[in-house]
Each structure stands twice: as structure tokens, then as C-alpha cells.
Amino acid sequence: FAGALLQLFALDRRVRGLDLMRPLATGCIALAPIIALDWGLAGAWLARLDLSVVASCCSTTLDEARREGIAYWQGPRLLAVWGSLIGVPLAIVTALLALRHPGRGIVALSGALALAVAPLAFGAVTFEVAPHVYEVPQHLCPFCLFKADAYFIGYPLFGAIFLAVVWGLGAAAGALVSSGAQAGDAFPAFARSRMTRQAFAWIFALALGALPVMIYAVVSPHASLFR
């Protein structure tokens, strides 16, 4: 929400008038309680941590409970992987179409598609990319991808997905609120810039996420990690 609102401020800088004053004010007012809720939930979670115990997130996922839950992670893995393989290219194509013809409808559709694909993309990273990075099928830990032994792949990978969603949602929000004459004149150039960024971010995330899987296929030919 904050990222999309920031994109509206970027659009407002292109508008020679006050067309976006009301939606920007409304967005800021709506964002305030969400931030408070976020801080409250984060604080409550931190307060429940037992800081006297030294443990990692993987200590709860690589044990017998995780091995007994194969049916759980196999189903979501297939859904997330195939959903991403279909959804991400579709999001790229939609963004490129919106880049060519930045109408409000196609731009709004591109933003909605980015939001819909994001959970599948994050799921694919957790259920497919992370196990291939460590070559352990039960290693379903996205947080380990931020460590040095994973070559810090988590930072650019999650960052690209997040930016693709933010740029897509920001452009979609701009399409919904740019009803004024001056905002309407500034919207096409703004939409083209955000659609370009969104397409490149999705392409980068797709390529980077496929890289560990391809490397495993090369070093372990004809051997499936999950069989």
C-alpha cells in the first residue's frame, strides 16, 4: 500500500495542478492505521520470542514433522511453480501491452495481475528455489536465501518481485484516480515508465529464480530433487 501510494506521489509530480490532492490525502489517512496495525503485530510477535534459546528457522522445518508433511509441501509446490510459470509470463505480456497502449483499463489489469501473481511467485521461491539452492527437498526456508552460503540471492529475488508488484499497483492506482484533465495528460508517460520497470522486474525475477534449478539440472542430470 505504501509503495503504491509512493507511485501516486511520483505521478503527482508530473501533474501541473491539484487533480490528485484528494486521492493522495485519502491514501495517507487510510495508510496510518495500517502502519499502526503493522507495528502492533510485529511488536506482539517479537514479545513472544524466547531470546534465551538459540535456534534457527530451519530447526523447525528440517525435523520429523516436516518429513511427515510431504503431502503438504508437495501440493503447494506444484501449484506455486505452475502458477508462476503461467502467471509471471502473462504479467510480463500484459505489462508490455500496457507499455505499448497505456490505456487505463489495461494498466489497471496489469496491476491487478501483478498482485495476483505475487503470492504464487513468493511460494515458488519458498517451495522450489530454496530447496534447489541447498539441494535439500525439505529445505523450505526463504530466509536462508538472504545468507552468504546462498550467495544472497534472496535480496535481488524478493526485491524484484516486490518492485514489480509496487510498480504495477502504483500504475493501476494512477489509472483509477487520474480522471482530471491534467492528471489524464500526465498519466500515459507515467504508465509507460512503470510498465517498463514492472516488465523488467518480472523478467529478472523469473530468470534469477530459474537459475538454481538450471544449475541443479546441469550438475545432477536426470535426477529430480523431489524424487
pLDDT per residue as tens digits for the range 12-56: 999 988 889 999 999 999 999 999 999 999 999 999 988 887 766
Euclidean distance between CA atoms 52 and 40, whole angstroms: 23
Euclidean distance between CA atoms 110 and 141, whole angstroms: 29
pLDDT of residue 202: 97
pLDDT band at 62 (very low <50, low <70, confident <90, very high): low
pLDDT per residue as tens digits for the range 182-223: 888 999 999 999 999 999 999 999 999 999 999 998 988 877
pLDDT band at 86 (very low <50, low <70, confident <90, very high): very high
pLDDT of residue 5 exceeding 60: yes
pLDDT band at 61 (very low <50, low <70, confident <90, very high): low
Q: From residue 36, how far is each of 4, 30, 42, 51 by CA, in Å?
A: 18, 11, 10, 25
Rg (CA), the chain: 20
pLDDT of residue 59: 58
pLDDT of residue 227: 72
pLDDT of residue 65: 45
pLDDT per residue as tens digits for the range 133-160: 988 888 888 888 999 989 999 999 999 9
Euclidean distance between CA atoms 111 and 101, whole angstroms: 15
pLDDT band at 70 (very low <50, low <70, confident <90, very high): low
pLDDT band at 11 (very low <50, low <70, confident <90, very high): very high
CA-based nearest residue to 163, from 105, 213, 202? 202
